[in-house]
């Protein structure tokens, strides 16, 4: 396959080029296209390619060059498929809304590969696998996490320190399960974001994780609403809230909440991970929530 790659402005595209190479896609850029014959007798410089890939990096205040929009318009007019990649939180002109869109960080090769393969599969047919499930986590890691949680419950309570410790424990567990997530460095209403291999079809956009340490076993409805709103505004699809009550009581989750937020009590999650992979746990919970099976 060949693609015509146009970018709004120069930036690091090494992960994107690696993803395209892995998908056996030959990349043609504008500087090379001018030295190639046009795709048809109209004489326009759009080269003979299978699809056009248009990239909008995250910078919000950049004015889109008219030539880029012209490339998109000519591709549409010639019937050449177009895939748009917009790096969050970049917003796009409404005129591009009908086009296939992937909102992924330009440095995340796994996510880029997944969306390129999905797009290629949709327009050319055939089976293009997404990431395989990571294997079930070693039970010794689950035992270690469980022990750390018991220590967290027993130690003198310091709100800031305890919350930080719980976030570190949750991140360690998720990464041990194969999650490709990055910790949020600012207070953006979530603690981490990323992908879980094997869930890309159900969760093509990044998952936003929030870790809540609870002195009492309760989570207000508005906390779930906030996480759903944050995921939507940042180009994600689902939020995942993982809570751990220090008083050991089960968490009575609010009813009739947003179906785009998956909730787990930490001990419950660990027990499920003893039987299946994190990807399977998330897929099952998502299906239960979306199809109205169970309270969460």
| The predicted structure's pLDDT at residue 129 | 43
Number of structural domains (the chain) is: 2
User: DSSP H helical segments within the chain, as ranges?
Assistant: 14-22, 30-33, 66-77, 109-124, 139-154, 159-176, 221-233, 266-273, 278-290
* Same structural domain, 178 and 62: no
On whether both 118 and 56 belong to a single domain, the answer is yes
Domain-embedded: residue 129:
no
Residue of 42 and 228 predicted with greater confidence: 228
In a domain, 133, yes or no: no
Taking each helix axis from N to C end, the angle separating 109-124 and 14-22, rounded to the nearest 10 degrees, works out to 40
Largest CA distance in the chain: 77
Q: What is the mean pLDDT of the segment spanning 155-175?
A: 93
In a domain, 31, yes or no: yes
Domain boundary at 90, 124, 158, which?
Answer: 124
How many other C-beta atoms are found inside a 10 Å radius of the C-beta of residue 284?
14
pLDDT tens digit string along 173-211? 999 998 888 887 666 678 888 888 888 777 777 788 999
Residue 277: band (very low, low, confident or very high) from pLDDT cuts 50, 70, 90: very high
d(CA 153, CA 66): 59
Q: What is the pLDDT of residues 86-132, one digit of tens each?
A: 887 787 777 787 788 888 888 888 888 888 887 887 776 543 344 55
Residue 134 located in a structural domain: no
152 belongs to a structural domain: yes
Last residue of a domain, one of 94, 124, 154: 124
Q: What are phi and psi of 39, to 5 degrees?
A: -75, -20
277 with 149, same domain? yes
Same domain membership, residue 163 and residue 61: no
Domain assignment of residue 63, yes or no: yes
- Which CATH number belongs to the domain containing residue 28 in this structure? 3.40.50.2300
Domain encompassing residue 14 = 2-124
CA atoms in the 13 A half-sphere facing the CB of 57: 14
In CATH, what number is assigned to the domain containing residue 181? 3.40.91
Domain shared by 267 and 152, yes or no: yes
Average pLDDT over residues 158-171: 93
- The arithmetic mean of pLDDT across residues 150-168, rounded, is 92
ω into residue 89 within 30 of 0, thus cis? Answer: yes
Instruction: Note the pTM of the prediction, 2 decimals.
Output: 0.61
pLDDT for residue 134 is more than 70 = no
Same domain as 107, residue 23: yes
Residues 150 and 261 in one domain: yes
Considering the domain boundaries, does residue 9 fall inside one?
yes
pLDDT of 291 reads 63
**In this structure, are 171 and 30 located in the same domain?**
no
Same domain (yes/no): 255, 113 = no
- Could you tell me if residue 241 is inside a domain? yes
Residue 185 has a pLDDT of 65
Is there a single domain that holds both residue 180 and residue 277?
Answer: yes
Cα distance between residue 264 and residue 250, in whole Å = 11
Residues 103 and 150 in one domain: no
Greater confidence (7 vs 119) lies with: 7
Residues 246, 278, single domain; the answer is yes
């Amino acid at each position: 396959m060949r693609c015509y790659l146009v970018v709004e402005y120069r930036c690091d595209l090494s992960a994107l080029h690696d993803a395209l190479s892995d998908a056996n896609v030959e990349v043609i850029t504008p500087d090379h296209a001018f030295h190639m014959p046009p795709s048809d007798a109209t004489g326009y410089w759009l080269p003979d390619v299978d699809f056009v890939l248009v990239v909008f990096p995250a910078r919000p205040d950049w004015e889109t060059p008219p030539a880029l929009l012209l490339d998109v318009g000519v591709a549409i007019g010639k019937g050449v498929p177009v895939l748009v990649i917009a790096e969050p939180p970049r917003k796009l002109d409404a005129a591009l809304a009908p086009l296939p869109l992937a909102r992924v960080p330009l440095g995340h090769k796994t996510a880029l590969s997944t969306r390129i393969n999905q797009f290629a599969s949709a327009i050319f047919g055939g089976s293009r696998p997404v990431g395989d499930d990571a294997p079930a986590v070693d039970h010794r890691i689950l035992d270690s996490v469980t022990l750390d949680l018991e220590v967290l419950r027993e130690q003198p309570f310091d709100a800031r320190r305890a919350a930080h410790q719980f976030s570190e424990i949750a991140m360690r567990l998720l990464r041990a399960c194969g999650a490709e997530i990055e910790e949020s460095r600012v207070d953006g209403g979530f603690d981490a974001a990323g992908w879980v291999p094997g869930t890309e079809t159900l969760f093509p956009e990044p998952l936003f994780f929030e870790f809540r340490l609870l002195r009492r076993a309760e989570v207000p409805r508005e906390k779930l609403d906030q996480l759903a709103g944050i995921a939507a505004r940042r180009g994600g699809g689902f939020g995942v809230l993982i809570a751990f009550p220090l008083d050991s009581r089960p968490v009575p989750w609010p009813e009739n909440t947003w179906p785009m937020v998956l909730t787990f009590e930490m001990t419950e999650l660990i027990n499920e991970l003893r039987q299946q992979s994190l990807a399977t746990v998330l897929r099952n919970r998502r299906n239960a929530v979306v199809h109205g099976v169970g309270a969460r």
